[in-house]
């Protein structure tokens, strides 16, 4: 009887400000996960500067890939396919990864598999949860996206809710800047909130009547800015920690509320979260409690797999590869690629 051959994917991620490469075995085992972060560089500017991000990717991408292969103790000969994020993201940053992946796949005579960045985030949950298989519900919360997704099968998604304006992570960044915490806003608000009272200030929770699973965070962001301006005009002191904790509670309440409403409607007994904001401790705790009350299994990735990384791209690429997805040398970066869309 022949043993089943292992499938190795070399994955590349460069959609924003992390240059990352990973080698993934059989879609679930991470042999290496190398990330070169640019956070310190962009902190100087209060956010990601696309041109600087692209230039840094060009500097780092070869080193990161070499290190990923070395740590996994494999060569390009051993790799079965090259997976790469081709959207959504910053177009210049994406192009660096896509061009690199095409060059490697062409030179090594390996298949090329393009991956949707958000599908990668969802796939991050497969890494540490071998029992997790579709169908399940997933809340994707990041700097650029807030989606409530029904994962029907590997590579098959139905968006049931999305933000109408700001993504949750974007609102975190803007509020963090307003209260003087700076960039990156998510981790800083999470940390400061522990010293504040989440009930100190009642910020609005937006609910959209005709679309119960949709989100809106521009209102709560504006409410924070108005509160700060009001305090300044009256000459009153305000607590940075209380604002952070109250804002975080308002966002978390909406995310958890919409998610649990979807759980009731769809009847799924498995619920996952993904994306950078999924590493927020308040969101994790609130979601875990809500899922426990409903008797639903709750899944979430480790923080290292919540932020942008290539391991999650490798997992998503594996399932795409097994489903027969192959991209040609004309694969291009698609900065506004929609979830579930294929090129």
Q: What is the Cα 67 distance to its own chain's centre?
A: 23
Number of residues that make up the chain: 343
Q: Where are the alpha helices (DSSP H) in 75-199?
A: 91-108, 117-128, 168-178, 185-193
Cα torsion 51, 55, 58, 63: sign: negative
Closest among 122, 87, 106, 111 to 321, alpha carbons compared:
111
Q: Where are the alpha helices (DSSP H) in the chain?
A: 39-43, 50-72, 91-108, 117-128, 168-178, 185-193, 218-234, 240-266, 281-294, 303-306, 310-322
153 appears as a binding residue in the annotation: no
121 appears as a binding residue in the annotation: yes
Q: Where are the alpha helices (DSSP H) in 180-280?
A: 185-193, 218-234, 240-266
Instruction: Kindly give, in sequence order, each residue whose CB lies less than 8 Å from that of residue 168, ignoring residues fewer than 6 positions away.
Output: 141, 142, 146, 215, 217, 251, 255, 277
308 appears as a binding residue in the annotation: yes
Contact at 8 Å (CB) between 212 and 261? Answer: yes
147 appears as a binding residue in the annotation: no
142 appears as a binding residue in the annotation: yes
190 appears as a binding residue in the annotation: yes
242 appears as a binding residue in the annotation: no
143 appears as a binding residue in the annotation: yes
Q: Any idea what DSSP says for residue 2? A: P
140 appears as a binding residue in the annotation: yes
Sequence ranges of the binding site for Fe cation: 117, 121, 308
Residues annotated within the binding site are 117, 121, 140-144, 173, 186, 190, 280, 308
Q: Which residues does the annotation place in the binding site for substrate?
A: 140-144, 173, 186, 190, 280
């Amino acid at each position: 009887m022949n043993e089943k051959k292992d499938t190795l994917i070399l994955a590349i991620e460069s959609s924003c400000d992390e240059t990352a490469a990973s080698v993934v075995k059989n879609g679930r085992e991470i042999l290496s996960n190398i990330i070169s972060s640019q956070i310190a560089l962009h902190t100087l500017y209060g956010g990601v500067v696309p041109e600087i991000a692209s230039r840094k990717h060009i500097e780092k991408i070869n080193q990161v890939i070499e290190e990923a292969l070395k740590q996994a103790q494999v060569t390009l000969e051993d790799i079965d396919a090259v997976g790469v994020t081709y959207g959504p993201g910053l177009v210049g940053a994406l192009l660096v990864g896509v061009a690199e992946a095409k060059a490697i796949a062409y030179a090594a005579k390996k298949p090329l598999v393009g991956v949707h960045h958000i599908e990668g985030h969802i796939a991050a949950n497969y890494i540490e949860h071998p029992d997790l298989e579709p169908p399940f519900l997933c809340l994707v919360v990041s700097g650029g996206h807030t989606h409530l997704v029904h994962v029907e099968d590997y590579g098959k998604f139905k968006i049931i809710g999305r933000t109408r304006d700001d993504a949750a992570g974007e609102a975190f960044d803007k509020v963090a800047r307003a209260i003087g915490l700076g960039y990156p806003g998510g981790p800083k608000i999470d940390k400061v909130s522990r010293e504040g009272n989440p009930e100190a200030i009642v910020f609005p929770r937006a609910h959209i009547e005709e679309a119960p699973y949709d989100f809106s965070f521009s209102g709560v962001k504006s409410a924070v800015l108005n509160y700060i301006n009001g305090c300044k005009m009256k000459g009153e002191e305000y607590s940075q920690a209380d604002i952070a904790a109250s804002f975080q509670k308002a966002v978390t309440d909406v995310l958890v509320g919409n998610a649990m409403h979807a759980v009731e409607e769809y009847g799924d007994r498995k619920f996952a979260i993904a994306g950078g904001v999924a590493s927020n401790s308040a969101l994790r705790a609130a979601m875990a409690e809500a899922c426990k009350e409903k008797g639903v299994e709750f899944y979430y990735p480790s923080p290292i797999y919540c932020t942008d990384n290539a391991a999650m791209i490798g997992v998503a690429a594996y399932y795409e590869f097994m489903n027969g997805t192959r991209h040609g040398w004309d694969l291009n970066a698609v900065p506004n690629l929609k979830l579930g869309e294929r090129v």
